[in-house]
């Protein structure tokens, strides 16, 4: 639903259609998204028109990017360490074979 709303406003029926869900089920999903601050809904007559609220998503993305960078750096360090130990082990084992 959020991906659909990223392209523009939709009513609840339009949000429900790709998922083959009832209006009531889609309305419950929208209510959860509203509660999380991700969607804003306005009533126009009998239609409930929804719009995405990007600020909370931007905050979540910022948080995820921080941890993505942190873990990428940590895993790169681990890879370098393991690579250097593999290199040392290979050189050491070749040296032992040469002495035989």
Contact by Cβ (8 Å): 26, 19:
yes
Query: What pLDDT is stored for residue 91 in this prediction?
Result: 56
| Size (the chain), residues | 100
Query: What pLDDT is stored for residue 57 in this prediction?
Result: 87
Contact by Cβ (8 Å): 15, 30:
yes
* Residue 82 in this model has a pLDDT that exceeds 60: yes
Which neighbouring-strand residues pair with 49?
11, 42
pLDDT digits (tens, 9 = 90+) for 47-80: 999 999 989 888 889 999 999 999 999 999 999 9
* Residue 87 in this model has a pLDDT that exceeds 70: no
Query: Cα 78 to the chain's mean position, in Å?
Result: 24
Backbone dihedral angles phi then psi of residue 22, each to the nearest 5 degrees: -70, 165
pLDDT digits (tens, 9 = 90+) for 2-34: 999 999 999 999 999 999 889 999 999 999 999
């Amino acid at each position: 639903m959020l991906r659909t709303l990223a392209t523009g406003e939709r009513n609840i029926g339009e949000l429900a259609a790709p998922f083959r869900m009832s209006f009531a089920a889609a309305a419950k999903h929208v209510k959860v998204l509203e509660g999380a601050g991700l969607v804003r809904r306005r009533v126009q007559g009998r239609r409930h028109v929804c719009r995405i609220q990007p600020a909370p998503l931007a905050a979540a993305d910022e948080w995820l990017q921080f941890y993505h960078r942190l873990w990428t750096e940590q895993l790169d360090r681990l890879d370098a360490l393991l690579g250097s130990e593999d290199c040392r082990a290979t050189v050491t084992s070749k040296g032992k074979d040469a002495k035989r």
